[in-house]
Amino acid sequence: MTERDPTITERLAAHLMRPVDAASRDRARLHMLDWLGCVGAARRSPVALKLEGEPAIRRAAWLGNLFEMDDVHRGAILHPGPVVWPTALQGEAVDIATLLDAAVRGYEAVIAIGATFDARHYAHFHTSATAGGFGAAATAASLHHADADHYVAALGLAGSVAGGLWQMRLESNDAKQWHIAHCVETGRRAARMAKQGVTGPRAILEGQLGLHAATCDTPRPLMLGEGWRIGEVSFKPWGACRHAHPAIDAALELKRRGQLNGWVEVETYADAVTFCDRLTPASVNQAKFSLQHAVAIVMERGEPALADFEPDSFDALAQARAQVTVREGADFTSRYPAHFGAAIRSASGEVVRIDTLGDPERPMDRDAIVAKATALLGWGGVSDTGIDAALTAALDSDDPRAALDWIETWA
């Protein structure tokens, strides 16, 4: 038998078996809180009402990305938290370290694999879904104390049914939330089957009939570093698509200078234009995916709040939206997705470019993340007692069930 090079999933499996450091565990706690805040904000949403009768943790898997406030990784262009946390919290971890380590490994897997997808993939596929099953499988496998072969099998099984088409973005529907819930259940089952000895394709990514061949023109190489990539993940301060955040931050700075009056031009990268050039949003989701609406909020009201994306704002901000034009800037596109950027030019000719709040270059500190979660939970009608319980469960508790208990009480 001749030796062969390890496959992508085999390389990733070996990488995932490293010990997790204390700083990464502490970082994971902040991401857990961020996700709990997102879930709490959506607990009284129409989607939540459709899920009455479902177990609380399954409802939570549907709700974590509903308000577009979930964490995001730029290079992979996906949202790890909504897949990783409902998987981790269903795993019956015996201690908090096991829970946090599983989450860190889940973030690593979903980011590492998502970052191998190219522009063709992202044009058609919801990357949080196509890579999400891998992240859920890695999280669940870690909770099972998997060896390398079990990781490979779980990743291969989950990857063999990867999917998630963007058509849902063009219609009013709940498929975006279904994608995440499906990844959670698929990844958990893949890890459980792998633990029982069921095997999956080891070259599910780069194989002749694998995911890269089916969905990419020029897949990127797997990049594995010495640390854990959870530290690269951005927190989102505003309840809009992340592609709109650079324009929001630039508009806020222009407003602080007293120059956000009258006509303005947004210049940004191509994907932001493709996803978010929308002058007349007709739904909450479309408003969150509208550069014009996001900038109009800043013009008229200042820092965006969740209420600013509700239907009452559509007509109220129509005149302000009409003053916002959008175009691609080649320099922003050339730096994307390593950097999400935008510039805003005012009627007076003043131009603002700024790093996006929540990204590694301009991070939100612990207090800001706590304040965000507190505001989200308050929006969802969680009491002060419930908010305190969420903060404790995520940031301070050594009980691996604390966050799950909170979800069963409040979600």
Q: What would the pLDDT profile of 199-233 be if each residue is shown by its tens digit?
A: 999 999 999 999 999 999 999 999 999 999 999 99
CA–CA separation, 175 and 33 (whole Å): 25
For domain 8-237+364-410, the question of CATH label 3.10.180.10 is answered with no
Q: Look at residue 370 and tell me whether its pLDDT is greater than 80.
A: yes
Arch. (CATH architecture) of 242-353: 2-Layer Sandwich (3.30)
Average pLDDT, stretch 79-91? Answer: 96
Judged by DSSP in three states, 328 sits in strand
Do 149 and 3 form a contact (C-beta atoms < 8 A)? no
Beta partners for 327?
Answer: 267
> What percent of the chain is predicted at pLDDT more than 90?
94
Neighbour order of strands in the sheet with 324-328: 324-328, 264-268, 342-346, 351-353
Average pLDDT, stretch 45-67? Answer: 95
The identity of residue 152, as a single letter, is V
Q: Where are the domains of the chain?
A: 8-237+364-410, 242-353
Mean of per-residue pLDDT scores for the chain: 96
The identity of residue 262, as a single letter, is G
> What percent of the chain is predicted at pLDDT more than 70?
100
CA–CA separation, 57 and 408 (whole Å): 7
Confidence band, pLDDT 50/70/90 cuts, at residue 4: confident
Cis omega (within 30 of 0) for bond into 311: no
Average pLDDT, stretch 347-356? Answer: 89
Q: What would the pLDDT profile of 224-277 be if each residue is shown by its tens digit?
A: 999 999 999 999 999 999 999 999 999 999 999 999 988 999 999 999 999 999
Confidence band, pLDDT 50/70/90 cuts, at residue 92: confident
Query: b vs e for 85-123, b when ≥16 Cβ sit within 10 Å of the residue's Cβ?
Result: bbbbbbbebeebebbbbbbbbbbbbbbbbbbbbeeebbe
Beta partners for 325?
Answer: 265
Average pLDDT, stretch 384-390? Answer: 98
Q: What local confidence, expressed as pLDDT, does residue 2 receive?
A: 54
Q: Look at residue 311 and tell me whether its pLDDT is greater than 70.
A: yes
Q: What local confidence, expressed as pLDDT, does residue 1 receive?
A: 39
The number of residues making up the chain comes to: 411
CA–CA separation, 231 and 104 (whole Å): 10
Average pLDDT, stretch 366-386? Answer: 97
